[in-house]
Structure 1
Amino acid sequence: MKLQVRLTLLLLSTAAVALALHAGLSVWPLPQLLAWADLGLAAPAPFGWPALALSLALLLPLLIALAGWLLTPLQRLLRALQGAVLSYRDGDYSMSIAERGSGELGELLHLHSELGQALREQRQHLAQRELLLDTVVQNTPVALILTDAQERVAIANIAARQLLGDGRSLSGVDFAALCERAPEAMRRALAGGDDCLFSLAVEGGEEETFHLSQREFRLQGRPHRLRLIRRMTRELSRQEVGSWKRVIRVISHELNNSLAPISSLAHSGAELARRGGAEHLERLPGVFASIGARASHLHQFLEGYARFAKLPQPQLQSVDWPAFLQGLAAHCQFRLIGEPPAAPARFDAAQVEQALINLIKNAHEAGGPAQEVTLAIAAGPRELRLEVADRGPGMSEAVLAQALLPFYSTKRAGTGLGLALAREIAEAHGGRIALANRGDGGGLRVSLSLPLA
């Protein structure tokens, strides 16, 4: 029965009972009974206060009983709905209400049943997706660390626990304290806040290269930071094999481009010499000059590769900063940030100068403003840090992971030796080179770190 009909019947029933009761007390049969009994009582007036008070006194209990009987199903439904809502609030979607009756209440029960079924299905799908996501996250070889606004570890997968916690759980651990126990190279990378490459000595004394990626986002309105650390040694090895294949193709192409003209010119020179005569002999110097030019170009091309392959051992010497920077400025344009260290440094001046020339040249070719190519020098307690920065577009993660590989270049006419040679020079000094995108205003930052002698 519809709720509106139920309430209408309640009101009509109440009105009918009230009228009947009042008429019985004031019109018939109570007045006639009193007269017949001849008790000496005055008959109540049709609309007098005594009759009205007596009618209300008798009507109220009847009305309360009637209202309770009519509203009992609605009260049971409301209690059931309240219990279901409380269960949903607590995350329990298993509760359901049996559908009974028709009308608005029956339709409400049907809709509630459909809502419960939809919530249960969504909960099941979410649980399955969460299980799948957790399985993928926990078993991926990439170390994943998620920290909350207080820089405490919220999620750390198996790879992260093995890398940073010796397999122990890291949930709730302060990330700063965790970094203090990490190796120095990893600690510097994590403190930098940018994407970068770093190397660590792992079990067996072998060096492993890692790529760090860091992102900030808001989760449930609160700031979180996600750090991904990926082992890159195998990928770098695979890329190195590919790089060697590319360099073989480049050298073969360049050799063919030079040797074919040289062979043709030599044949032409021999033919001119065989014919003799002043007219033919006058053309020989031009032929020999062309052969010499092609041979010189080929020599310069091969010398660049040989210089990379046969980098000599660094000759450490005391370097005075003003003279070194003056010599560097004669080869390339840059803006010095801050003042250089007051104390002289010890490194191979020629090699480090060549490395910085390559880095500054790459910074100019990045496409940013020339005046934004900067050089910063800082001397720490244990190392010297030379940092070249620009305001170009930076590098994608894929390029950043391969930029230090020999012969890898995104430039059409690039040899891919600039950054690789700088890396070789840094490692020959016992240092390292790191690349990171600049977060403020864009650009790339290349840091050359050398140990203090």
Structure 2
Amino acid sequence: MRISWILIIIILLLGASLVSSLLLSVSEAGTELYITQSACVLAIILLIVFYRSVMKPIRSITNGIDLLREQDFSSRLSHVNQHEADKIVDMFNGMMVALKEERLRLREQNHFLDLLVDVSPMGILILSDADRIKTANKAAAAFLGFADSSALEGLTVDSLDSQLAAVLSGLSQGQTVTERLNDSMIYRCSRLSFMDQGYPHPFLLIEKLTEEVMIAEKKSYEKVIRVIAHEVNNSMAGVNSMLSTARLMLSDSSDDYADL
């Protein structure tokens, strides 16, 4: 039973005792009766004061619980003019300030991370426990052939009709592979996880390596061409030297024959 009801019942019983004693005083009068009546009146007054002093902090605590339940961290509890209860009120208000600041900080961080994920050149797919796509950024949607990233939400990776999706669906946790697709596009795909509220949440990373690989291959070809050109030039230099020597020898021999 609630404290308020218990106190109300006690006040009513004392009130009934006082009324009954007043009715008896009409026929019987005495010092003991007046003492009893005075004690009843004093008890009622003390109970009323006690009720107000107890119920006011309880109501304040109840209001605080309601604020927490509604996640209203902007409101504050007012003092009840009781030293011990006001300590609890100050502690509660300090906790509400800390919760508000922490919630604001987390909201700002989440907003910043959402912006980073959205503009990242790497494709990011955040999956649910059932391997359904919860969130996808623009790069992932473009890699998988979707114009809008929201169209991927709720789908499974293996249900997508794409060679890249087949590579992603075959990944195991913690695995990273680099694949060259039939359209000569090269992707590095990874399946990783992050912790949230004590549980691991899987996500997929897609990195396009086509341009980097083409640049690396171009540099390799340029290096090979320089080596081959150097070797050819060296060979041609020897051939040219031999031809020059042969020309001189032939010219000298022709002069000898002319003298004859």
Same fold (TM over 0.5): yes
Partner letter of residue 166 of structure 2? R
1:167-223 CA-to-partner distances (Å, cap 9, x unmatched) read 151465131xx433332354144324231122346xxxx632111011145533444
Of the candidates 121, 129, 135, which is equivalent to residue 141 of structure 1?
121
Aligned residue in 1 for 2:160: 181
CA distance in 1, matches of 2:68, 2:224: 65
- CA shift digits 1:317-339 (9 cap, x unpaired): xxxxxxxxxxxxxxxxxxxxxxx
Alpha-carbon distance in structure 2 between the residues aligned to 1:59 and 1:248 = 114
Q: Aligned equivalents of 1:242 and 1:68: distance in 2?
A: 92
Q: Does the 8 Å contact 2:171/2:190 carry over to 1?
A: no
Partner of 1:355: none
CA 1:239–1:115 in structure 2 vs 1: closer, same or farther (change >3 Å)?
Answer: same
Displacement after TM superposition at 1:78 (Å): 2.5
Say whether 1:208 aligns with 2:185: yes
- Distance, in Å, in 2 between the alignment partners of 1:105 and 1:138 is 49
Residues 79, 180 of structure 1: alpha-carbon distance in 2 compared, 3 angstrom cutoff: same
**CA distance in structure 2 between the partners assigned to 1:42 and 1:136 by the alignment:** 89
1:235 matched to 2:235: no
Alignment CA distance shift 1:86-1:240 (3 Å): farther
**Does the aligned pair in 2 maintain the 1:144–1:226 contact within 8 Å?**
yes
For structure 1, which runs of at least 5 residues remain unmatched after alignment?
Answer: 1-24, 26-33, 260-453
Change (3 A) 1:63 1:189: same
Q: Secondary structure at 2:170's aligned position in 1?
A: helix
Aligned residues: 207
What value does the CA root-mean-square deviation take over the aligned residues? Answer: 3.9
**What is the CA–CA distance in structure 2 between the aligned matches of 1:246 and 1:66, rounded to whole Å?**
100
Q: Does 1:154 align with 2:134?
A: yes
Percent identity of equivalent pairs:
20
1:169 alignment partner, SS class: helix
2:77 pairs with 1:97: yes
Residues 223, 123 of structure 1: alpha-carbon distance in 2 compared, 3 angstrom cutoff: closer
User: Which residue is 1:117 aligned to?
Assistant: 97
TM-score, with normalisation over the residues of structure 2? 0.63
**Counterpart contact for 2:126–2:134, Cα < 8 Å:** yes
Shift of residue 43, structure 1, vs aligned partner:
5.8
Partner of 1:190: 169
- How far apart, CA to CA, are the structure 2 residues paired with 1:244 and 1:92? 65
Q: Please identify which structure carries the higher helix content.
A: 2
Cα deviation for residue 239 of structure 1 reads 2.8
In the alignment, structure 2 segments of 5+ residues that lack a partner are 1-20, 235-260
State the AA in 1 paired with 2:89.
L
One-letter code of the match for 2:147?
D
